[in-house]
Structure 1
């Protein structure tokens, strides 16, 4: 694989990439960046987790004119979660440039604050089609200086019925611009969308590696025994992070209660949660503060959570495409992974379809699952919630300094720090969590007191 320093990027950009541990390009980055940095349009086929967010964000950041306080780039994503994570990634990639404003426009959050933010200006917009179109219709947004347009997970947007919204948005954009379309599949409708969006695009395709990198095992299990075997499945695979998929919100909550009764710490993620709560759940799981996340297919795509050891399909997905995206959560950026699917006798027809799609699926008996008593299903970290964020100029470095220099914690005791506009989260080793909580609760950070809670 090639390194980023071989690209025509400024030294400070390469240094920032290096500080983010981006040293070698993934396949999609290696194939697309030479073209996109040359301002070419591309249509790229790449699965979630292949590094495509970095692939389209680098050209956006590279051509950004920070002194020109106008909207220069628009990224459309199918879901709020993906839009928020793309925005976070762009902020990280542009942190070597002072005063870059990345604004997220999605549904599920109040509209008026977004209007106020647009009035004050932004360099980059990341949003969902419905909310962006709403701002366009109310004349809150001006794209006259836009030079880059990105459609991420285009196939998902077509599945969700966004085709007409996307066309209406494109009609409002300048004709002269660079456009990039990323999709996990080239299903029906993608070519039509691409012809409408792109101008003489270069086609880039990364072969699907999920079948190769993920070990899949299927177990026939009645509903009555599914829950009882989950702890043994997790412990036998020594999974520190496990993502369990259910088909309904009700089942997610029921299963969470059942596992909690078994003494396991569990998070749930589904569409009934408010956006703030969904952000918190994703943050806590990504911070490795909870060992198990139970989710509907809202988590099958667009969640940038690395190092998930095990995916369990408690309920089989509705089709092979959704199944592929689910198991792909455990094989991000080329890493291998383990996926287990449970099925009942009446689902044999679905199993036959999966066998045709995946030629390396293995079947096993429930009786062969042996619990590993020496493995504890737990997390090393707990997370602190701090009621201050970017709007209060509270940065990750400030929090780290308060914990280490201020309270005497070792850097190895502090895990992932995530900042939002009005709050922050910091993972701390469990043995130090009380000291961290009590210390930050009674200590000023940047001259201010903040409320702190253990999550």
Structure 2
């Protein structure tokens, strides 16, 4: 674990003028903790493992040093820089939406380089032709999903033998079983000598062991903290089969202008959307089986405020930056405890206060206790007036059981949400 004295401003980080001017324009007033601690080490060329809460500014943490490195490289006017289908900085991400989002951020940070640095995003769900054309002659920064990148490599559209910086964003997902073969294939094509940066909000133990093979004498910075999060977490117990009624009650009572609802499958997305429609709540769905065009349209409508309710699978839990999203709801609990933190991190980003609600029935109790244990949190079980759970919960199921007194019978963990400031759309 490395502790670094945090610089007070971006100038002290050692960033160059074009980046500093752009940060002022973007109203980045001072570095976030992860930026302050990690950027100097990245500028020095060190390998890095960085863990920090979602919404903490991880993209800028790797993008700014990468752009500064590329700017210095361009200044050397190497004759081979414009030859061949090369890549200098490679950023691997797990989803299409995150690929586009990261590429857009890098292009924004690079505005004052006057087009000298080329950034391309490649991902599945769309034709490869336009992406192959964009890669003709190589690119300085490539943001890619692993599957599409392998397709482009097999078509000789790009080579990885000149990569100088590798970034794994959402590294825990990238190193998980679903991407193991693809990541292994890509790593085999990369030069041994390179800078490697891993960023994620969570690093499970099984992932930590894999990082030892990827990095050389890395700096490790871990800033994950439930206490540091600006997301208010609440848990409401409901009767089995009443989650939809509770959800409609909350949406209508508090008139949320944006609410992101997580379920565990594409079929659940459509099923819940149909049930909400019958109760006059308009919702769209977002999952991996939707075409890229449809996914982009739905996400853009939600971000712009044209759509109030979005129902999504965990494909929306990773990296998506929805500005000032007030409410996230776990209609279904995530299968993986680490995905819980990624889900709720869609709200409360960049210092904004957000609200994360989990609706659990009796069958969810044990799994939520596992989620709490893994994420080192402990939340009170609450109920909503008019929707009190009728099933008797055993003492073993209660997160904080208290002995019964000899006086009046008490109703435990019973609260009213009426007038609660955290449920209002502020």
Mark the CA change 1:360 to 1:234 in structure 2 (over 3 Å): closer, same or farther: farther
- 2:110 is matched with 94
Assess if the C-alpha contact under 8 Å between 1:210 and 1:328 holds in 2: no
Deviation at 1:235, TM superposition (A): 5.1
User: Which structure 2 residue ranges, 5 or more long, are not aligned?
Assistant: 1-5, 386-414
CA distance in 1, matches of 2:89, 2:240: 49
Assess if the C-alpha contact under 8 Å between 2:287 and 2:312 holds in 1: yes
- 2:24 is matched with 18
Assess if the C-alpha contact under 8 Å between 1:236 and 1:369 holds in 2: no
Deviation at 1:57, TM superposition (A): 0.5
Deviation at 1:101, TM superposition (A): 2.2
Assess if the C-alpha contact under 8 Å between 1:269 and 1:293 holds in 2: yes
CA distance in 1, matches of 2:242, 2:287: 24
Deviation at 1:242, TM superposition (A): 1.0
How many residue pairs align between the two structures?
375
Secondary structure in 1 matching 2:178: coil
CA distance in 1, matches of 2:153, 2:206: 25
Over 6 Å off, 4+ runs:
none
CA distance in 1, matches of 2:283, 2:418: 19
Tell me whether 1:75 sits opposite 2:91 in the alignment. yes
Secondary structure in 1 matching 2:94: coil
- 1:289 is matched with 306
CA distance in 1, matches of 2:377, 2:211: 31
Deviations 1:369-404 (A, max 9, x none): 5678xxxx99xxxxxxxxxxxxxxxxxxxxxxxxxx
CA distance in 1, matches of 2:155, 2:372: 50
TM-score, normalised to structure 2, is: 0.80
**Higher deviation after alignment, 226-235 or 19-28:** 226-235
Assess if the C-alpha contact under 8 Å between 2:49 and 2:218 holds in 1: yes
Deviation at 1:217, TM superposition (A): 2.1
Assess if the C-alpha contact under 8 Å between 1:91 and 1:102 holds in 2: yes
Secondary structure in 2 matching 1:330: coil
Tell me whether 1:32 sits opposite 2:38 in the alignment. yes
Secondary structure in 2 matching 1:203: strand
Deviation at 1:316, TM superposition (A): 1.8
Q: Which has the higher contact order (CA 8 A, sep 6+)?
A: 2
Which of residues 142, 159, 167 is equivalent to 1:150? 167
CA distance in 2, matches of 1:86, 1:195: 26
Deviation at 1:315, TM superposition (A): 1.4
Mark the CA change 1:60 to 1:212 in structure 2 (over 3 Å): closer, same or farther: closer
What are the equivalent positions in structure 2 for 1:352-367 lying under 5 Å apart? 352-356=369-373, 357=375, 359-367=377-385
Assess if the C-alpha contact under 8 Å between 2:39 and 2:65 holds in 1: yes
Which of residues 18, 38, 44 is equivalent to 2:50? 44
Mark the CA change 1:235 to 1:41 in structure 2 (over 3 Å): closer, same or farther: same
CA distance in 1, matches of 2:198, 2:244: 41
Which of residues 162, 169, 179 is equivalent to 2:186? 169
TM-score, normalised to structure 1, is: 0.75
